[in-house]
Amino acid sequence: MSERKPPGGESLYRGPAGKPRDKRERERDRQGRAPAATAPADRRPPLRERVEATADAAPRVPQEQRIYGLNACLALFAQRPESLRKVWLLESRIPKLKAVLAYCVKQRLGYTIVENEDLEKLSGSAHHEGVVFGAMPSDEQNLSHWLRDLPKGPAIAIWLDGVGNPHNLGAILRSAAHFGVSALLLPKDSTLHLSGAAARVAEGGAEAVPMVRLGRSDNSLAQLASAGFAVAATVVRGGQSLYATTLPERLVLLMGAEQAGVDPALAQASSFKLAIPGSGAVESLNVASATSVVLGEWWRQNVATAKKSP
């Protein structure tokens, strides 16, 4: 029996000679269906784009941190013991941490007596001071909620623009706690966070100063102005002398990174610019030292003087 072929010499089940078709195409021919066209809009984006979109949409889950340093750990326990998850310590630290260990027993949290080498591995530092906590990070506030709950009267906050070194952050937090800073303001896209190194350098100060996450810079500046805050940008050149300036009782201190300084657009939008006079032997102080100097002067003018008044 001869095979019946359609015009053009094509088989019922095969395409033109020399162009083999796959199994799915042959099955569609058998069923008498033409392949459905796929609209470009229905195509799935590349895997990388799908993963990034999912990451952007999903809320960030807080990750347990390793906090180390005796004062940092004691301050965390005093302020938010519910954040504690695990404790590792040297035997010699038991007397200083009796209350912590009693809490661990009561709450059925794990604690382990370890050697110095173990603490170095756990903390990633030789400066662990005999104790490491596993703890959940404290929650960041948003600017609107922070302003709503802020008491009336003198208040100073620090806006960190581009600062990324954890040791600078820790030193700033220590000074901030000493001078009663109301908050540390972090830009929307800043990756700066409280690490174990920053907490240790802060010597407990990290638990006294809340971190506030900002939105868009222009909106944040407008909100702060509405709450009565002036914004002072610290600059190396072109600013008025800190010691010749009357600092307002509600002030946001805008501090920039070591090399780049404050973003020019932010500096331009600030209420005024400040410079710290010195001998000129070096160009400037580092960001942590400069922050401490300005905080001390603000405290002298707005808090210490007020306390002396009858």
- What mean pLDDT comes out for the span 111-125? 97
What are the tens digits of pLDDT across the range 223-276?
999 999 999 999 988 899 999 999 999 999 999 987 778 899 999 999 999 999
Residue 28 banded pLDDT, cuts 50, 70, 90: low
pTM of the model: 0.78
> Can 65-135 and 141-308 be said to share one CATH topology?
no
Residue 47 structure tokens = 């895997």
Asked if 88 and 112 touch (Cβ cutoff 8 Å), the reply is yes
**Rounded-to-integer distance, Cα 198 and Cα 210, Å:** 14
- What mean pLDDT comes out for the span 30-36? 55
Number of CB atoms found within 10 A of residue 163's CB: 24
Residue 3 banded pLDDT, cuts 50, 70, 90: very low
What are the tens digits of pLDDT across the range 54-74?
434 444 567 899 999 999 999
Edge-to-edge order in the sheet of strand 131-135: 65-68, 131-135, 84-89, 110-113
Q: Which CATH superfamily is domain 141-308 in?
A: SPOUT methyltransferase, trefoil knot domain (3.40.1280.10)
What are the tens digits of pLDDT across the range 282-308?
988 999 999 999 999 999 999 987 766
Q: What is the dihedral of CA 200, 202, 207, 209, to 10 degrees?
A: -150
pLDDT, greater one: 7 or 113: 113
State residue 171's pLDDT score.
Answer: 97
Q: What is the DSSP letter of 261?
A: B
The residues spanned by each domain of the chain are 65-135, 141-308
Record: fold of 65-135: 60s Ribosomal Protein L30; Chain: A; (3.30.1330)
Residue 310 has pLDDT above 60, yes or no: no
| Percentage with pLDDT > 90 across the chain | 69
Residue 297, classified by CB atoms within 10 Å of its CB into exposed (0-12), middle (13-18) or buried (19+), is middle
- What mean pLDDT comes out for the span 106-113? 96
State residue 5's pLDDT score.
Answer: 45
State residue 12's pLDDT score.
Answer: 42
